[in-house]
Amino acid sequence: MTAREQTPQQLDPLGTLSVSRATPVFCVAAFGYALYGTIVHASQTTTTPAAIAALIVLAAASVVLIVLSRPTTAPFSRAGCGAVTALALIAAALQSASTWGENQAVQDDWGQVAIGLLIAGMALSRPVADLLVAGFAGSLTVGAFAVAQSAHLALDAPAGVFAMVAAAPVLAFTVAAAAYSTAMVQRIRRWQHSARASIARLEPEVHEVTARIVHQEQVTLLNTNAVPLFTRLLEQGEITESDVVQAREIAAALRGRAVIALEHTWLDAAVARARTGHAVLPDSQGFDGADAAILAKGVDDPGRLAEHVPPEIRPVLAAFIAAVAECPGYDRFSLRVTLRGVVGGLKANVDANVDAERRATIAALTPYLGVLRVLTRDARLRSDHGRLALKFTYERP
């Protein structure tokens, strides 16, 4: 994983997931406006193939933006931004060429509006600098074409005026997108700072409460099992073989619960709930040997790497495991999470058997996959023959 860019998508991938669904709306609006403009101003078209090619290239730019904005292909890279911008500029150039010599007014051209709408569609995915570069390139392109054909326009005005009119929509959409992205980033960072500060303030209290719970559990176990044994031994005045066996069982139970309390991690809790249907914790009333065996088989983490998983990935991975457990046909005994160390980070695998329709399963898990892809860059989800497998690698930036 590389350092996260200052974009709403990468700073808060889960929070911006639903907002990013507006991207196809911008793409459809851009192509719809282009198609409408081509039809309405068909009398000004001098080169029909260029007009058709402009629509095709704009459609390609829209498709690229929609595909790269999907959760399964996140995060939206700088190369993707460059590809969308380049295709939009080519479409605008072809549109200008298609009406060369007969164009009456540059404000009627759809190229500048289409470029602006596509830039607005990238507001959540790319940093402000990239949006401004794309906007500058777009305004420069449409302005240059406006100057080049100024002699053929119906209105008699300086060429610079036509350039400003053509560039205005691109600049307006760009400034709006940059302002929106900046405001979102600032709000997310303020919220994250406030959340971290609150967690830091509560951490001592959480540790104290946890210690009390563990202590109370141990006292309860002693009162329930050990104290009656000691009382009986005092009353009978001798130790029998059955008393020795019972004492060993009580000691083993206390030792087992103490070990679980020490080694139990957030990942154990998430997997335990998905495998048993309830929380398997040291203080759970229903905890028994069977639950311990199920828990032991669910997490393969000999290096205790779960404690090194960054805070932003933990809730997403736990939510993914819970979502797998909700899938139809889920085999709870098949769930297994494996953590292994790699140079500078760790590698995680989540495997489970899910006997359900593949498309529905992938659709249910795609939001979590999208967030993991933003956080790790290489998260992959496969579903073949009822076997579900998630893999990702986290490398410390």
Specify the higher pLDDT residue, 2 or 3.
3
Question: In terms of pLDDT, which residue wins out, 110 or 215?
Answer: 110
Q: How far is CA 316 from the centre of its chain?
A: 8
Distance from CA of residue 132 to its chain's centroid?
25
Q: At residue 207, does pLDDT exceed 70? A: no
State the pLDDT at residue 18. Answer: 63
Segment 21-58, tens digit of pLDDT: 788 999 999 999 999 989 988 888 888 999 999 999 99
Question: Is this prediction's pTM over 0.85?
Answer: no
Q: Which amino acid is present at 289? A: G
Please tell me whether the peptide bond between 367 and the residue prior to it is cis, using omega within 30 degrees of 0.
Answer: no
Confidence band of 13 (pLDDT split at 50, 70, 90): confident
Range 335-352 burial, b when 16+ CB lie within 10 A, else e: bebebeeeeebbbbebbb
Instruction: Give start-end residues of each CATH 3.30.565 domain in the chain.
Output: 265-397
Rounded to whole angstroms, the Cα distance separating 40 from 137 reads: 27
pLDDT of residue 360: 85
Question: What sign does the CA torsion over 107, 110, 114, 115 have?
Answer: negative
Residue matched to tokens 């993991």: 372
Fold of 265-397: Heat Shock Protein 90 (3.30.565)
The band of 114, judged by pLDDT with boundaries at 50, 70 and 90, is: very high
More confident position, 379 or 247:
379
The mean pLDDT value for 144-156 works out to 74
Q: Is a pLDDT exceeding 80 seen at residue 369?
A: yes
Which one has a higher pLDDT value, 201 or 380? 380
Closest of 258, 251, 314, 245 to residue 287, by C-alpha? 258
CA quadruple 383, 384, 387, 389: dihedral positive or negative? Answer: negative
pLDDT score at 237: 74
pLDDT tens for each residue of 257-313:
665 555 577 888 888 888 776 555 444 444 444 445 555 568 888 888 888 888 888
Q: What is the pLDDT of residue 34?
A: 93
Query: pLDDT class for 176, splitting at 50, 70, 90?
Result: very high
pLDDT at 136 over 70: yes
Q: What is the DSSP letter of 265?
A: -
Unique residue bearing structure tokens 């959480």: 206
**Angle, CA 209 vertex, CA 199 and CA 275 arms, to 5°:** 85
**Cα separation, 194 vs 370, whole angstroms:** 25
Q: How far apart are CA 109 and CA 92, in angstroms?
A: 9
pLDDT of the residue at 256: 62
Q: Tell me, what's the pLDDT at 10?
A: 76
The 10s digit of each residue's pLDDT in 73-92 is 777 888 999 999 999 999 99
Long-range contacts of 283-291 (CB under 8 A, 24+ apart): 283/213, 283/214, 283/216, 283/217, 287/257
Per-residue pLDDT, 35: 93
CB-based contacts of 283: which residues, under 8 Å, 6+ apart? Answer: 213, 214, 216, 217
* Cα 125 → chain centroid: 12
Both tokens of 94, joined, read: 């072809």
